[in-house]
Structure 1
């Protein structure tokens, strides 16, 4: 599979990268594998690698939502007398006996026997229900959706929205851009959420049954309330012989062509944990409110940084680049796609204007930062609900494909892709400066949340690419530019080798090679830094060149969708890597210049100036990235996207709130899923957590149950080691990526092409596309060291991919 740079493309749990660790449902904490016995004589010593041993003993892949549905959906024994039960043809790949050994072998999780909030449970007995129950519930859901629309229309009528240029406006309009298609689809999702709540009340479903088994109540496929136009459309017949990936991710799985496609729901690694079992935000174990996400941020997450011992700032940038390729959660929007205000005085004084998708973050009056500005409310709207035509808990919508397929460069629709292409010689659109430098196309949309008049007046615009977040921070914009240049470089070389190829062939072949290079660099240079070499070896994630070497076979039964927990929580570990200062290094004089990160958010204009891109890349490759953990730069804990404002947003608070919004399960559930014993009190965590972090946690949480961990680790010499609860969704994602993506190289490409792809490196891509740099570390994600020297770009020690392997015709 991907070991031959082939089956790379999918992310099962998949993604955020750019930046952090404040785990979305409660907190991020610095995890340690053990505290030495002499530091605490009451704690028995444990092996330093105990968590690794435990994880490696678990069966992979782990059971998930799709496993549960597949086990019981076809079962003849679950509800044998249910007249409403769907009928299926016999399928040997989906055994009908849910109690067969293929389903019941122990997965080594540690859920107690009386704990049924996990996928190993048996479905609950459904109470009797009638067609009237279904139709009345759907009617109620439709009424609630219309009421929401009325609020949106009234807000639009009064011109109430987020203040243009404000931090929240930049976050929602520019960074978390929501496609109009997603907003339309969310109407059905919202309606079905309320219909499920009504059905739960009508037939007295328990919270657990509503979460797990309400999906089997009723058949709504023919209901007028189920608007098929609001569902993700199925593609036409898939061409099994196609040489190239679809741009929207469809037909990656020929049996289930929409799996992993853009505009499909995230999947669940663990069952969702909503307050009412359907859609309300997660509550504390005793049913009360969880502590303010901002209070958790200021109490648990410190505003100081500890540098990684091995990795550069480029690690953070590459992580964000990968994340944006595989996840983009849609946000709830108002009329005409307007942002929804939740904290303005007019909204707070008139409850009738309060949008039901508001979930603002309450700021304590004595907040150490915001109190000076009299701020007690931080804007936050819920993620848009994914559409469905069945009862069940709320799910969220991923606007990206679930595959590592370069959608960050090419977009996720044929229309978007067409707008990015030059339609000549296989090239992407670009703008060329007077001195011949190739930049991304200009975004001339005045409402893109980035362009400002004092720059557009001089014909300097923000940029456009396959992903709307391209301008979020300048280092990310640089990476977009580098890979757009790389595509054009590949297309021109292929044209020289194959002058008879037309524009379409040149474009698609260049795109295929570029996707393979991104995948190879990710698994060869980035992933080892995340999960460590031991786990890489155990899961066989390292790229392999020879066809006879062991690899993961494609498995059409594994759902490629990104796990909700990975996107909403685990992959946000990179946020703790954000540097408060961005460094630029002038190559010739080695002059170093620093600027606050805030000055480069939605401010990419300096890329128009000669030499700045090279200076930024040099600056990324020189300093160490902050170590992953529970410590964050003040630039992201109150000043994010502030621009000219005196204050901005708190990214840590927002990530905690997002996890609650998505119903990401609590810390104890992840311990049990990972094979660890459940903790009954905070003292049980002394072996697993940094003492300072644990002490802070006890100050804001009443008990251990509601608190969600996920956070990283204690950095160790060779890599960035993570806690067990982070590794689980991350490793599952990375493994799933290998097992679910049909990439054409494996079956259609000659071995010499595969061998050339395996010469790809980030160092060579940067050298070829930012030649002003002159030199670079052999492995740019790692700090300069004896084994990682800085080499001239002309060095033969930085191999080049020979595209001669793609030449056709007589030699």
Structure 2
């Protein structure tokens, strides 16, 4: 459910529909040659674009999606490590309504990150206030990330060579001038800062560099995952159809007392005309996952393997055991055996040392 919400509903709005098609595209099945692990630049810089979308205000709204009459909006720093506010101040519902009923913040070249997290960020066990932007750039240097220009080249984008080039990318000459005065040379610019400075792509919340880095990473996460939800043999077609019914709006309805939501909670709407009752938000029918006991009675449970495990699935109406190895071990033999004619059509594989 999480991967469906992320890929289908979230990412196209973050990197834009055109970038989504260019870097991710339609799913064509599991590719064993793809490494799905998180790239250093993605984890350390690109996916931290979200720090530029942190709002300085946490809005709290009532059931009519207006400012709450009892619980006012909060400055972000007043919410750090303060779960008591949820317990004592109306529960999670005013916060959820504030999140889906208010416009999201967006970074601009003149205000990349809210002062609530650059001047008033609080960390556990620290008496000093921290600067999230500085931490991000220092983290990139600690991880040995190449600079902004090197990653533009990696993504096939034109390198920034002059102040004029930087001003075109940023969309603001004075900001570009200030950045270059600080860094002295365009090749010195940190990738997190450079990516955040870029003008947003149409229909996106990132510029071209972060759209590229995020898109490439998400494609690898999807294509290199042998158990991706829509891969062959993981779920039946009926189960896939039910999974596609799920949404962030349904999640909010199922886990809170919020009674009205937007059909797509990532898209802002106007109350009440764009909102619908939770009764009209599609939900999954778990009957699609009812196990077929007859197959298990015919074949019993498949054999276990050392340093690995298996999951049961169905393909074309047949029970399938899909094996995988623990980290550090390599699968030897067929990864799948099928229940046919009252017996498994093969022996379980082995998990051997990679070396």
Q: Which has the larger radius of gyration?
A: 1
Matched, 1:649 2:126: no
Q: Kindly tell me: are residues 694 and 609 of structure 1, through their superposed partners in 2, closer, same or farther at Cα, counting changes over 3 Å?
A: same
Residues 789 and 607 (structure 1), Cα distance of their counterparts in 2 relative to 1, 3 Å cut: same
Alpha-carbon distance, 1:554 to partner: 1.7
**SS of residue paired to 2:59:** strand
Label 1:600 to 1:531 Cα distance change in 2 as closer, same or farther (>3 A). Answer: same
Q: CA deviation at 1:675?
A: 2.0
TM (norm. structure 1) is: 0.33
**TM-score, normalised relative to structure 2:** 0.72
Question: Of the candidates 231, 238, 254, which is equivalent to residue 752 of structure 1?
Answer: 238
Relative to structure 1, the CA distance from residue 671 to residue 714 in structure 2 (aligned partners, 3 Å threshold; closer, same or farther) is closer
Match of 1:692 among 174, 178, 181: 174
- 2:212 aligned with 1:731, yes or no? no
Match of 1:577 among 53, 73, 83: 53
How much has 1:625 moved relative to structure 2? 1.2
Q: CA deviation at 1:578?
A: 0.9
**Residue 335 of structure 2 corresponds to which residue in structure 1?**
none
* Among candidates 174, 195, 199, match of residue 714 of structure 1: 199
Distance 1:553 1:644 in 2: 46
Aligned to 2:19: 535
- 2:253 corresponds, among 764, 767, 775, to 767
Could you tell me how far apart the structure 1 residues matched to 2:65 and 2:158 are?
57
Segments of structure 1 that go 5 or more residues without pairing to the other structure are: 1-516, 542-549
- 1:767/1:587 Cα in 2 relative to 1: closer, same or farther (>3 Å)? same
Report deviation, 1:740. 0.5
Contact 2:54 2:114 in 1 (8 A): yes
Pick from 776, 799, 811: which aligns with 2:261? 776
**Are residues 1:603 and 2:82 paired?**
yes
Cα pair 2:52 2:196 within 8 Å, conserved: no
Aligned pairs for 1:146-295 within 5 A: none
Q: How many Å separate the matches in 1 of 2:272 and 2:203?
A: 13
1:523 aligns with 2:2: no
Q: Deviation per CA, 1:381-425, whole angstroms, max 9, x where unpaired?
A: xxxxxxxxxxxxxxxxxxxxxxxxxxxxxxxxxxxxxxxxxxxxx
CA distance in 2, matches of 1:552, 1:629: 37
Matched residue of 2:104: which SS?
strand
> Per-residue CA shift, 1:260-303, capped at 9, x if unaligned?
xxxxxxxxxxxxxxxxxxxxxxxxxxxxxxxxxxxxxxxxxxxx
Higher relative contact order (CA 8 A, sep 6+): 1
Separation (CA, whole Å) in 1 of partners of 2:202 and 2:271: 15
Structure 1 residues 702 and 591: alpha-carbon distance in aligned structure 2, compared to 1, 3 A threshold = closer
Q: CA deviation at 1:539?
A: 4.0
1:802 maps to what in 2?
Answer: 285
SS of corresponding position for 1:781 = coil
Q: How does 1:561-576 map to 2 (within 5 A)?
A: 561-576=37-52
Specify whether residues 633 and 540 from structure 1 end up closer, same or farther in structure 2 by C-alpha distance, changes over 3 A only. Answer: closer
TM-align CA RMSD? 2.7
Give 3-state SS (helix, strand or coil) of 1:763's partner.
Answer: helix
Change (3 A) 1:523 1:676: closer
Query: Could you tell me whether the CA contact under 8 Å between 1:580 and 1:635 is conserved in 2?
Result: yes
Which is strand-richer, 1 or 2? Answer: 2
2:183 aligns with one of 696, 701, 708: 701
Q: Distance in 2 between matches of 1:624 and 1:644?
A: 33
Deviations 1:237-280 (A, max 9, x none): xxxxxxxxxxxxxxxxxxxxxxxxxxxxxxxxxxxxxxxxxxxx
Rounded Cα–Cα distance in structure 2 between residues aligned with 1:587 and 1:790? 12
In the TM superposition, what is the alpha-carbon distance from 1:712 to its structure 2 partner?
5.5
Indicate the SS of the match to 2:227: coil
* Offset of residue 591 of structure 1: 4.1
Partner of 2:63 in structure 1?
A: 587
- Taking structure 1 as reference, are residues 609 and 674 closer, same or farther at Cα in structure 2, changes over 3 Å only? same
Aligned partners of 1:744, 1:676: CA distance in 2, in Å? Answer: 31
Superimposed CA distance per residue, residues 215-249 of structure 1 (whole angstroms, 9 cap, x where no aligned partner): xxxxxxxxxxxxxxxxxxxxxxxxxxxxxxxxxxx
**1:571 counterpart SS class:** helix
Q: 2:322 — aligned with what?
A: none
The total of aligned residue pairs comes to 282
**Whole-angstrom distance in 2 between the partners of 1:703 and 1:566:** 24
Q: Identify the range of structure 1 (639-648 vs 666-675) with the bigger mean alpha-carbon deviation.
A: 639-648
